[in-house]
Amino acid sequence: MFRNGRRSASKVALALGRKRVTETATKAGWGLLRGAIRSQWKGLAAGVSVGLLWSAGKVAGPLLVQQAIDKGIVEQSSSLMLWVVLLLLAGLIAAVFTGARRWFAFREARWVETSMRDQLFAHLQGLHFAFHDETQTGQLMSRASSDLQQVQAFVVMIPMTLSNLATVVAVAVILFRLDPVLALMALGPLPFVNLLARRFSTKLFPEVMTIQAESAELASVVEETVSGIRVVKGFGAEVVQSSRLRAEADDVYAASIRAAAVRAWYLPLIDVLPLIGLIAVLGYGGQQVLNGELTVGELVAFNSFVTLLIWPLRNIGQLVALGQRAAASCQRVHEVLSTDPLVKDPVVPVRLPARRPGHPVGELRFDDVRFSYGRLEAVLDGFTLRVEAGESVALVGATGSGKTTIARLIPRFYDVEGGAIHLDGVDVRQSPLHDLRRAVGIVFEDTFLFNDTIAANIAFADPDAPQSAIEDAARLAGAHDFVVTLPDGYETVLGERGYSLSGGQRQRIAIARALVADPRVLILDDATSAVDPTKEHEIRDALATVMGGRTTIVIAHRPATIALADRVVLIQDGRVAAEGTHDALLAESEAYRQVLAAGERTRWAVVAGAGPGPAADDDAAGAQPVETSAAEEVR
Amino acid sequence: MWGGAAVSAEDRLQRGEGKAIAGRTFAMLRPYRRQALVAAVVITISTLTVLAGPLLLRYGIDHGIGEQDRGALSAAVAAYIVVAVIAAFASHLQIRLVARVGEGFLRDLRVRVFDHLQSLSMAFFDREKAGVLVSRMTADIDAMGELIQFGLLMFVMNGLLVVLTAALLLKLSPLLAVMCLVALPLVVVASVRFQRQSNRAYLTVRDRVGHNLSTMQEGISGVRVIQAFGREGEQTDRFRRSSRDLYDAHMDSVRISVWYFPVVEFAGAATTATVVGVGGWMVHQGTISLGTVAAFVLLLANLFEPVQQLSQLFNTVQAAAASLKKLYTLLDTETELPERPRAVDLPASGAIEVRGVSFGYSGSDLPVLADVELTIAAGERIAFVGPTGAGKSTLAKLVARLYDPTAGSISFAGVDLRDATNQSLRERIVVVPQEGFLFDGTLMENVRIARSDASDAEVEQALRDAGVWERFAALPDGLATEVRERGSRLSAGERQLVSLARAALVDPAVLVLDEATSSLDPGTEALVEKALDHLVEGRTVIVIAHRLTTAARADRVAVVADGRLAELGTHAELLELGGRYAALYESWIGSTP
């Protein structure tokens, strides 16, 4: 019962996947693949050349055995030793060059994979925010891993397959010269090996994909059961989950059995076809020997040659399928690579005015700004605001009013669709991108820290910053005190396998990171939202220090944080609805009170500990509307 | 490329462990023993057909050609045809049989591990990382699947082939066979060396692939921060370095195979040359026939290729054995909350009595609760308040028997919870967690998870009881709405409503509510409040309260601090008492002038 919806969804996805594979003819994919191969042509050509030498050694083997039997053993017309030595030599050649062929093939294939992945990464780094908003990380990751893996698997086969092809041609020529009829009988079934191998791979592929899809569904049942174990146990839903898992396990089983059935039909046929050739060699070839038309050595050689060709032929069949898959993968990679960055450096850049002592910088001007994220309804429309150098402004508004959008337009994460934004008199679109972003420090709502040391995280904007600068920034952000208490201090590694910090601590590291480059404008986007209310005051103290004398844009919900700013701007429907100090707005603006109340409704007094300490510190600035409603609840 | 599998040193099985694992696996295969037996016979037949070809050629050359006997030649051909047909059938059968046995075994293993996992106590899930548990059911079982699909058959057949070929060669001509087998130890030594080196190389590759991908992942998920600080160039360089490391690791592993494959190939060629030389000399001496030499040349292929393949498969087999070991270890973990042999059903209603209860999480010396005494009357509403980590949640979990106390006892209507059946426990006492967790499926199915035998009408009634029927019935697909991955379509408040409807469906005597600390959207907030009001009607309610307003509305308040029951009484009584609760309340009121 739980499965129906999802099953059909996965089938659709599967069908789409299959369709995509058949659409491989798309030029872009092949074009990219061709380009990659062309760039490595020298190495690949070397691989093909040594492959041909391998081929020669391989083909010589049975011929020498034939000579040894006929001339050395049966006729005794020449020294057996000569043929034995030649046989050893041929073996040596084949052995040495099989290694060399492998070496070249993998060297070039891995290099193609590596350089394409580097290219992909570099390109992604340059793509605008809007692209990343729309694209899931997982999708990009699969481009970089499984798709490029497919390309690698194809490129590696090129030298292998070409030398295999040479082997097939050489053997065919030799056999036809020995005995055309016998050659036809011996080799006749072999093309079908190739045909069957190809058909096999196309039949098996969808089944393997089904197994993968079904396994993924099974994994998701396990995953949700483990993460929802409290609910499962709380309601005694073990039986329900167990029957769901059984159903998924049955699906995986059924799919695996179907795949096994495909194998069970094709593999024996592929194996038995060459036997037909071998039987023909023994039957017809034997008669020919009796008739004196063929020597025993030639008969044995025929036998060896047929065996020799089995693998190369199967392998040639694979190349076509691999090529199609590689092109399909390349097409998906191409989709990303062909996306042009929308936010680009200006053609004629204008530098921001230099800083001079005594002249405050960071003056911001929004003129009639319009922005809609490319949708019909504008988020900002006619937004005009001036922020003086060194001034701190709090942006307040309901969810979706456009506060965060304003913050994102300043460092050009997106470009305005109408109007303009000037920083120190320069249109932000005219400034070199790198300079602009160095001039604007931003603390995001969700603090993203890298799996690296605290020092490296703080010095992210400026890796060459001296330790003293890192510590100064940390002190300003109120992070220094807790960092030094950590076991490794600033060298503490953060992240999955490293130390995990609390929300408030992460936030303070992020603030220090924004400060280390001494930006003209500091943007704090809801920097306290993720913080435990009882710890909020710690950050607030840090913010108060940081904001002193620096142009700061603060986006906040909590009155206490808002009150830190020199000026408060209320945003409604994408424009400025009211502005003034926190106290003035609280007194005058009904809309302002409502917005604050909506934000505050969702917060409760938390029983945080015995004693009046932290709780009293909370909400020190007080927001009347909220407390009245809370008081009503108490009554 | 060779098999993509490897085992790290710590995963490698100890001596004796392999035996235990094999024994246990055979025991689990018991339901399939007939099919497995047939498979073994078929595999042997199929291996023998591989040997038949060269033997028939020998017969044809010696008796047909050598003795100019066209009849013998035809007989050899006819026999060959029969062998080919048998080979095809045997091969077909063995693939199907191995799949049926192997995949059946995997299915049983999946179900068994999953069921066992679910039977383990909450304490186990607190200890183990979710990711690790999921990987048991995915990565570890997949490692087995890989072996079954590709490796097992080849492993068995190749092993069999080497042994049978060697035996056959010895029988055909002991002297010539010994000459051939001279090179074999060399190949075996080289193969063992290769297997070790490639295992090591593969582990390095795996590490670096992991590092490369996580660098990429970090670069993509952190792209906003990277761009905000203009560090695209540095990140790209960093990624390049990790790519380069990966490339080097790949090339190291190729280098290993670059010496190994030529060695094996040359050993094969050298042996062929030996057979031709020595065999030819023996033909001259008249000790063996020309057909035997020809058969030897062809049989040699069955000797060297299997050894080469075995060395590559060895890693896959080892990895699968390591995975099996982990799975069996999990199956051996015993649940800490077993149902007692003569467990009884809990009565329909009654008081909860907590007597001298102490509790400490395993692996930690610090007691979370010490010597708690508390009686909760039937139909009473009690709020647990106290600082984070003081033990109020733990106390609530003990009442629902998500854990057992380390000392003391908890009873419901006079029955010790440890003597109750699991079934009745879940029906009487329901915990509604802070966040409404949704499973993949429809809304209807998500509510029904609380009682799988509930009819549609009962689910509807539960939704009505929770006062949320209108809200969900108004959705375009109504209760058939797919909630999708983790309920991304429903808001936190709506998820909470589903959670409450589940509780309504069970209709328990005791409701344990963990109040949400995070904010809900104002619209649903009110709805959740209303649903709660409906739900608590006529039940014993224990609230883990985070808001003082909630505490104030309860019949009694229990203040849990430092693992003890610090204060107990009505809101008014506690205010009068002037203790911790009063101080908290004062400070809260004080902050709201």
pLDDT in tens, A140-180: 888 888 788 888 888 888 888 888 889 989 999 998 988 89
pLDDT band at A261, cuts 50/70/90?
very high
Please give the backbone phi and psi of residue A555, each rounded to the nearest 5 degrees, phi first: -110, 120
A452 touches chain B (CB under 8 A): no
- Residue A253 scores a pLDDT above 90: yes
Tokens of A380: 């900002």
Q: In this predicted model, what pLDDT tens digit does every residue of A216-242 receive, in sequence order?
A: 888 888 888 888 887 887 777 888 889
Q: ipTM of this complex > 0.85?
A: no
B339 or A577, higher pLDDT: A577
Separation in Å, CA of B263 to nearest CA in chain A: 7
Helix axes A503-515, A536-547, angle to 10 degrees: 10
* Whether A257 and B100 lie within 8 Å, measured CB to CB: yes
pLDDT on residue B579: 85
pLDDT band at A71, cuts 50/70/90?
confident
* Whether A413 and B276 lie within 8 Å, measured CB to CB: no
pLDDT on residue B391: 82
Arithmetic mean of pLDDT over chain A: 80
Which of A119, A121, A344 should we substitute to test contact with B (largest number of B Cβ atoms within 10 Å)? Answer: A121
SS3 of A469-492: HHHHHHHHCCCHHHHHHCCCHHHC
With CA atoms as reference, report the closest residue to A127 among A338, A334, A329: A338
- Residue A535 scores a pLDDT above 90: no
Mean pLDDT of B473-481: 81
Measured distance CA(A474)–CA(A516) in Å, rounded: 8
Least confident of A557-561, B48-52, B459-463: A557-561
pLDDT on residue B388: 66
Q: In this predicted model, what pLDDT tens digit does every residue of A355-413 receive, in sequence order?
A: 888 788 889 999 999 998 877 788 888 899 999 988 999 998 876 778 888 988 999 98
C-alpha distance from residue A444 to each of A529, B226, B483 (Å): 10, 12, 30
pLDDT on residue A608: 29
Measured distance CA(B514)–CA(A603) in Å, rounded: 16
B27: exposed, middle or buried (Cβ count in 10 Å: 0-12, 13-18, 19+)? exposed
CB-CB neighbors (< 8 A) of B423 in chain A: 236
Measured distance CA(A481)–CA(A468) in Å, rounded: 14
A130-169 b/e (C-beta count within 10 Å ≥ 16 → b): ebbeebeeeebbebbeebbebbbbbbbbbbbbbbbbbbbe
Least confident of A413-417, A619-623, B406-410: A619-623
Arithmetic mean of pLDDT over chain B: 83
- Residue A41 scores a pLDDT above 50: yes
pLDDT band at A429, cuts 50/70/90?
very high
Among positive and negative, which fits the CA dihedral B569, B573, B577, B582? positive
pLDDT band at A129, cuts 50/70/90?
confident
B234 touches chain A (CB under 8 A): yes
pLDDT on residue A393: 92
Separation in Å, CA of B16 to nearest CA in chain A: 31
- Residue B13 scores a pLDDT above 50: yes
Separation in Å, CA of A507 to nearest CA in chain B: 13
pLDDT band at A601, cuts 50/70/90?
very low
pLDDT on residue B215: 86
Measured distance CA(B271)–CA(B253) in Å, rounded: 28
* Whether A272 and B87 lie within 8 Å, measured CB to CB: yes
Mean pLDDT of A535-540: 64
Least confident of A22-26, B313-317, B344-348, B437-441: A22-26
Q: Is the CB of residue A144 less than 8 Å from the CB of residue A117?
A: yes
* Whether B220 and A91 lie within 8 Å, measured CB to CB: no
Mean pLDDT of B117-144: 80
Give the number of other Cβ atoms within 10 Å of residue B132's Cβ: 12
- Residue A21 scores a pLDDT above 90: no
Tokens of B43: 């595999």
With CA atoms as reference, report the closest residue to B14 among B317, B332, B322, B329: B322
pLDDT band at B90, cuts 50/70/90?
very high
Tokens of B377: 């009357």
pLDDT on residue A14: 36
Measured distance CA(A509)–CA(A503) in Å, rounded: 10
pLDDT band at A598, cuts 50/70/90?
low
Among positive and negative, which fits the CA dihedral B208, B214, B218, B220? positive
The percent of residues in chain A predicted with pLDDT above 90, rounded, is 17
- Residue B519 scores a pLDDT above 60: no
pLDDT on residue A93: 92
The percent of residues in chain B predicted with pLDDT above 90, rounded, is 13
A616 touches chain B (CB under 8 A): yes
Please name the member of A239, A256, A263 whose beta carbon is closest to the beta carbon of B103: A256
pLDDT band at A553, cuts 50/70/90?
very high
* Whether A278 and B81 lie within 8 Å, measured CB to CB: no
Measured distance CA(B233)–CA(B227) in Å, rounded: 10
Measured distance CA(A627)–CA(A630) in Å, rounded: 5
Please give the backbone phi and psi of residue B482, each rounded to the nearest 5 degrees, phi first: -75, 125
Please name the member of A88, A94, A253 whose beta carbon is closest to the beta carbon of B107: A253
- Residue A609 scores a pLDDT above 80: no
- Residue B482 scores a pLDDT above 50: yes
pLDDT on residue B249: 92
Residues linked to residue A443 through DSSP beta bridges, in sequence order: A524
- Residue A341 scores a pLDDT above 70: yes
B81 touches chain A (CB under 8 A): yes
* Whether A227 and B130 lie within 8 Å, measured CB to CB: yes
- Residue A478 scores a pLDDT above 90: no
pLDDT on residue A376: 76
Which residues, numbered 457 to 516 in chain A, qualify as contacts with chain B under a Cβ-Cβ cut-off of 8 Å? Answer: 460-461, 463, 513
CB-CB neighbors (< 8 A) of A601 in chain B: 522, 525
Q: Is the CB of residue A598 less than 8 Å from the CB of residue A588?
A: no
Predicted structure pTM score: 0.73
